[in-house]
A and B are shown apart, each in its own frame.
Chain A
Amino acid sequence: MIEHGSVVEHRRVIELRRVARVFEVGTEQVHALRDVDLRIGQGEYLSLMGPSGSGKSTLLHVLGLLDRPTGGQYLLHGKDVTALDEAEQARTRRLHIGFVFQAYHLVPRLTTAQNVALPLVLAEVPPAERRERTMAQLRAFGLLDRTNHLPDQLSGGQRQRVAIARATVTRPELLLADEPTGNLDRANGLEVVRILEQLHDDGITLIVVTHDQELGRRAHRQLRMDDGRLVGDVGEGLGPNPGPNSGGLRGQSEDGT
Chain B
Amino acid sequence: MKPVDHVAFSVQSLRSQPGRTLLILLAMAIGTAGVVVLTWLGEAARHYVIGQFQALGTNLVIVLPGRSETTGGAPPLLGETSRDLTLEDADALKRCPAVRRFAPVVVGGAVVGFGNRSRETVVLGSTSELLPVRRLEVATGRFLPEEHKSGGALCVLGAVVAAELFAQQNPVGEFVRVGDRRYRVAGVLAQGGVSLGTDLDEIVVLPVEEAQALFDSPGLFRVIVEATSKAAVPQAVAEVQRILTERHEGENDVTVITQDALATTFDGILKALTLAVAGIAAISLIVAGILIMNVMVVAVTQRRTEIGLLKALGAEAATVRQLFLGEALLLSLGGCGAGLVLGEAASRMLPHFAPVLQPGVPWWAAAAAGVVAVVCGIVFGTAPAARAARLDPVTALARR
Contact = CB atoms under 8 A, between A and B. Distances in A.
A105 B309 CA distance: 7
Interface stretch (A74-82, A83-91, A190-198, A234-242): A83-91
A123 interface: yes
A66 B394 contact: yes
B294 interface: no
B118 interface: no
Interface string B10-35: 00110110000000000000000000
Contacts of B9: 121
Interface string B310-328: 1111111111000000000
B312 A87 contact: no
A215 interface: no
Contact of A93 (B5, B312, B317): B312
Given A101-B397, A105-B397, A109-B13, A66 B314 contact: no
A66 B319 CA distance: 16
Interface string B259-302: 00000000000000000000000000000000000000000000
A122 B309 CA distance: 12
A90 B310 CA distance: 10
A175 B319 CA distance: 23
A118 B2 contact: no
Contacts of A87: 316-318
Contact of B313 (A103, A109, A118): A118
Given A93-B314, A121-B1, A123-B314, A66 B393 contact: yes
B305 to A, nearest CB: 6
Contacts of B316: 86-87, 90-91
Contact of B317 (A67, A86, A91, A95): A86
Contacts of A90: 311, 314-317, 319
Q: Select the residue from A87, A91, A118 with max chain B CB neighbours within 10 A.
A: A118
Nearest to B8: A121
A233 B393 CA distance: 28
A87 B393 CA distance: 14
B313 A110 contact: no
A157 B127 CA distance: 101
B306 to A, nearest CB: 6
Given A93-B313, A121-B5, A107 B306 contact: yes
A119 B316 CA distance: 12
A150 to B, nearest CB: 10
B314 A122 contact: yes
A40 B9 CA distance: 37
A122 B1 contact: yes
A64 interface: yes
A206 to B, nearest CB: 17
Q: Select the residue from B15, B308, B311 with max chain A CB neighbours within 10 A.
A: B311
A233 B5 CA distance: 44
B117 interface: no
A16 to B, nearest CB: 17
Contact of B309 (A64, A97, A107): A107
A86 B314 CA distance: 10
Contact of A99 (B5, B312, B319, B400): B312
Interface in B337-359: none
Contacts of A12: none
Interface string A117-135: 0110111100000000000
A86 to B, nearest CB: 5
Contacts of A103: 305, 400
A94 interface: yes
Nearest to B17: A109
A109 B319 contact: no
A61 interface: yes
Contact of A105 (B16, B305, B315, B319): B305
B338 to A, nearest CB: 23
Contact of A109 (B5, B16, B310, B315): B16
B314 A124 contact: no
Given A67-B394, A109-B13, A110-B12, A124 B2 contact: yes
Contacts of A110: 12
Contacts of A99: 312-313
Contacts of A166: 313
A90 B2 CA distance: 16
Interface in A193-243: none
B387 to A, nearest CB: 16
Given A109-B12, A109-B13, A109-B16, A61 B317 contact: no
A105 B394 CA distance: 13
Contacts of B306: 105, 107
Contacts of A109: 12-13, 15-16
Q: Select the residue from A108, A121, A124 with max chain B CB neighbours within 10 A.
A: A121
Contact of A122 (B15, B315, B400): B315
B312 A64 contact: yes
Contacts of A64: 312
A240 B315 CA distance: 31
Closest 5 A-B residue pairs measured CB to CB?
A94-B314, A109-B16, A90-B316, A93-B314, A105-B309
10 contacts: A90-B319, A97-B314, A99-B313, A109-B12, A109-B16, A110-B12, A122-B315, A124-B1, A166-B313, A170-B314
Interface of A: 61, 64, 66-67, 86-87, 90-95, 97, 99, 101, 103, 105, 107-110, 118-119, 121-124, 166, 170
Given A121-B5, A121-B9, 10 more contacts: A87-B318, A90-B317, A90-B319, A91-B316, A92-B314, A93-B312, A95-B314, A107-B306, A110-B12, A118-B313
